[in-house]
């Protein structure tokens, strides 16, 4: 009788161990997958900032206050990707403009942001930075 | 009872190992797509004039950027040319030797293809896609990198 109890005890302990190992494994896999996704979103945000800077859209939007070109660019991104661009004055942090991809609302899920500084030369040199945030569109 | 327990243990472990293998493969595909994309659109390649060399001899890294996120026309042309005779070697140089690779440069305006390298995956599953954004000849483009099991 004592032997059976000990065996049962050992079996239950092993079972618990297996359950814990399986759950831990699943959890760690989930973390790794989320990390990869987050890394790609960050690089995509960086791509968007670079392209907007190189095609002059950031500068234009600061000069005119019009964000149509930026919004139109964001709208051409692949359907699954949402993005928002906000520009700030570097010194006092005032928002200069903000544009979000049409039909996108801020996700409840993960989002990645990068800040990119840029310079405007008009009558004097002014420093700004653009914050680009990307996230995956919530499935409808 | 003991038999049932052993059976349960084997089933659980088999399932865990299977899931781990599938996950590791997906993870590796994602990482490879990410690294290929970075290499292509961030770097000029090594040496920077690799596109003027014959074949792939002397090339240690392939990049099609003139500057970060700006694709150089002549590098892109050479990259596409390599597809004809040096598909495997080019994949090796990009760090995707174990997998199939398809790189498409698409106009953002209408998704029309400007340039293509590699092979289209046979199946839709087991494909990792990285969409990256760049600038090419005055227009915005998407660099779509697909990495898949061959």
**Is B18 at the interface with chain A, CB within 8 A?**
no
Q: Residue B140: which of A18, A29, A73 has the nearest Cβ? A: A73
| Chain A residues near residue B5 by CB distance under 8 angstroms | 11, 14-15
Q: What is the rounded average pLDDT for all residues in chain A?
A: 87
User: By CA distance, what is A30's nearest residue in B?
Assistant: B23
Q: A44, B132 in Cβ contact below 8 A?
A: yes
Instruction: Identify which of B2, B12, B34 has the shortest CB distance to residue A40.
Output: B34
Q: Do B19 and A44 touch (CB under 8 A)?
A: no
Q: What is the pLDDT of residue A108?
A: 66
Long-range CB pairs of A75-81 (<8 Å, 24+ gap) are A75/A101, A75/A102, A76/B108, A76/B109, A76/B140, A77/A48, A77/A101, A77/B108, A77/B133, A78/B131, A78/B142, A79/A137, A80/A136, A80/A137, A81/A44, A81/A134, A81/A135, A81/A136, A81/A137, A81/B131
Q: Which pLDDT belongs to residue B1?
A: 67
* Helical residues (DSSP H) of A55-138, grouped into ranges: 57-64, 68-75
Q: Contact A77/B135, CB-based, under 8 Å?
A: no
Tell me the chain B residues in contact with residue A39 when contact means C-beta distances shorter than 8 Å. Answer: 34
Give the mean pLDDT per block of 10 residues along chain B (150 residues): 73 75 83 95 95 92 95 96 94 94 94 94 87 93 94
| Beta carbon pairs, A and B, within 8 Å | 72
Angle between helix B87-94 and helix B2-42 axes, rounded to 10 deg:
100
A 73-132: CB under 8 A from B: 73, 76-78, 81
Residues of B in contact with A76 (CB under 8 A): 108-109, 140
ipTM exceeding cut-off 0.95 for this assembly? no
pLDDT of amino acid A107 = 66
Question: How high is the pLDDT of residue B132?
Answer: 96
Average pLDDT over residues A92-115: 87
Lookup: tokens for B101:
């690779």
**Looking at the predicted structure, is the pLDDT value of residue A128 above 80?**
yes
CB contact under 8 A, A51 and B34: no
Q: Collapsing DSSP states into helix, strand and coil, what is residue A13?
A: helix
For residue B7, give the 3-state DSSP assignment: helix
Total number of domains constituting chain B: 1
- Report the pLDDT value the prediction gives residue B95, as an integer from 0 to 100: 94
Option in B15, B34, B134 nearest A47 (CB): B134
Contacts of B71 in chain A (CB under 8 A): none
Residue B77's domain comprises 2-148
Partner-chain contact A25 B34, CB within 8 Å: no
Radius of gyration of chain A (CA): 24
| ∠ CA B112-B73-A72, rounded to 5° | 45
pLDDT per position as a tens digit, A29-78? 777 777 888 899 999 999 999 999 998 999 999 988 899 999 999 999 99
């Amino acid at each position: 009788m004592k032997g059976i109890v000990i065996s049962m005890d050992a079996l239950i302990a092993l079972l618990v161990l297996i359950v814990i190992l399986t759950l831990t494994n699943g959890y760690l896999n989930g973390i790794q997958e989320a990390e990869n996704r987050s890394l790609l979103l960050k690089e995509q945000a960086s791509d968007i900032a670079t392209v907007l800077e190189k095609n002059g859209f950031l500068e234009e939007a600061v000069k005119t206050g019009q964000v149509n070109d930026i919004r139109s660019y964001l709208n051409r991104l692949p359907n699954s990707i949402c993005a928002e661009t906000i520009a700030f004055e570097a010194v006092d942090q005032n928002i200069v403009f903000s544009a979000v991809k049409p039909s996108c609302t801020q996700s409840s899920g993960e989002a990645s942001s990068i800040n990119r500084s840029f310079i405007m030369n008009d009558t004097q040199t002014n420093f700004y930075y653009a914050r680009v945030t990307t996230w995956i569109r919530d499935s409808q | 009872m003991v038999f049932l327990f052993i059976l349960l243990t084997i089933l659980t472990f088999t399932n865990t190992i299977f899931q781990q293998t599938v996950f590791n493969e997906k993870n590796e595909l994602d990482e490879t797509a990410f690294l290929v994309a970075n290499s292509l659109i961030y770097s000029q390649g090594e040496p920077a004039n690799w596109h003027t060399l014959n074949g792939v001899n002397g090339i240690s890294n392939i990049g099609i950027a003139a500057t970060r996120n700006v694709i150089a026309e002549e590098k892109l042309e050479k990259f596409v040319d390599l597809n004809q005779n040096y598909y495997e070697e080019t994949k090796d140089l990009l760090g995707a030797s174990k997998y199939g690779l398809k790189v498409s440069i698409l106009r953002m305006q209408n998704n029309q293809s400007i340039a293509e390298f590699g092979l289209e995956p046979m199946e839709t599953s087991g494909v990792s896609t990285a969409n990256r954004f760049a600038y090419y000849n005055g227009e915005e483009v998407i660099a779509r990198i697909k990495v898949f099991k061959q």
